[in-house]
Structure 1
Amino acid sequence: MIVLGIAAVVVFGGGGFVAYTAYQNATAPPPENPLTLQEMAGFFGGGDPFAADPNADQLKAAAVERLKRDRLKAGRAAGDLSPIEVPDRGPGGNGFPPANFPPGSDPSPGSNKATAKGMLSGFGFGDDQWGCLEKLWHKESGWNERAMNRYSGAYGIPQSLPGSKMASAGGDWQTNAATQIKWGLGYIKGRYGSPCGAWGHSQAKGWY
């Protein structure tokens, strides 16, 4: 009985105290000198705690981009080139009308790789560059001459942006894998010196 009595005093006494304190807080008059926003900002290290924070915004944006890259990398590892779509027609642009694909022509990554490997020496590249080129264009397009990036519009095996740049290698750039490969090897040589140079840049920056 003594224990129960003490427990009742603690429970009801404590509850009464809380209720009484809440009532006092609710009915008390406001302070004569309330804190200003500037004074409140002092608790946040100075400045306006609600103002834009460029550093924080940059970190948030970087985190979003990193998440996108991680998801894209995971998708590619699983064989899903999620940003890549295969249109029904070759794209137009810069005065070029959209081109119909030849009847019965299906992309053949294996044949396209063989074509590219045979062109390496013509651009002054040795066999040691093949591994880098194979990985680079697998990452870019899966060696599909119809691959188009749904976000940027880059097109073809080397993912030319815009695709019409490849017209310098041939008017059939929308449909011909060999024309795309010829342009792509010239682009790599002119800008990066070699496929391994382009692959290294792609690994570091995410593009080439």
Structure 2
Amino acid sequence: MLEGNRVSRISVRGFAVVSATAVTAVGSVVGVASGSTAQNNDAEAMASDSTLLLADIPAGQQAQVQTASLTQQADVQAIAADASAKKDAEEAARKQAAADAIAKQEAAKKAEADAKAREKAAKEKASRDAEREKLTSTSATADASSIPVQSSYTVAQVQAIARQIVPAGQFQCFSNIVNHESTWNYRATNASSGAYGLVQALPGSKMASAGADWQTNPATQIKWGLNYMNGRYGSPCGAWSFWQANHWY
């Protein structure tokens, strides 16, 4: 009987060692997850105490002790799992917050770039509108009657009149078109189409809107041509760009 009881105590002690070892291992996991070494020490102490107590418990009650030990192990494992899940959730939240911050910065940069682009476009449009208004105003105030009327004009005289009417920044473009259309001949007539004058108005009578002397006065023709280029192409340079692409305007 004594020998049997001895064997039972040894077996129980062995089980307690295994159980306590498992508890110790799980306790270590919890300690790592929480950043504490105290829990690891507590788990080792628990394992030592369990080994001593289970060996002294009668064989009939050992099953209950084993069940309690397994339940304790499950609780420790659940705590460790919860701690790990919490850590993972915190890390995911941190990464998401960083991603959100970057996205907000990018959105702010894009909004700023869009605002600058709109501002630049608005300034450019205002500048173009101002230039067009200036051109229109200049052509309107450059009345042909302010230039002495002659019975005939040389090319040099016609070009000098044009310089008085056409803005300096647009003169070369205006001159390029006139060179191609009439070579500065204010009486030039296209035999096939009937186009007439420096800018080859078609029909030539259109130029009557600038003056009744449109057939003989280059100033009247220049005034009409400038208004036409401004109205249709924005400026003589706009008209010249179109002419280069199409060889007409």
TM-score tier after normalising by the smaller chain length:
0.3 to 0.5
**Higher RCO structure (Cα 8 Å, ≥6 apart):** 1
- Which structure's residues are more often helix, by fraction? 2
Q: Which has the larger radius of gyration?
A: 2
For normalisation by structure 1, the TM-score amounts to: 0.46
For normalisation by structure 2, the TM-score amounts to: 0.39
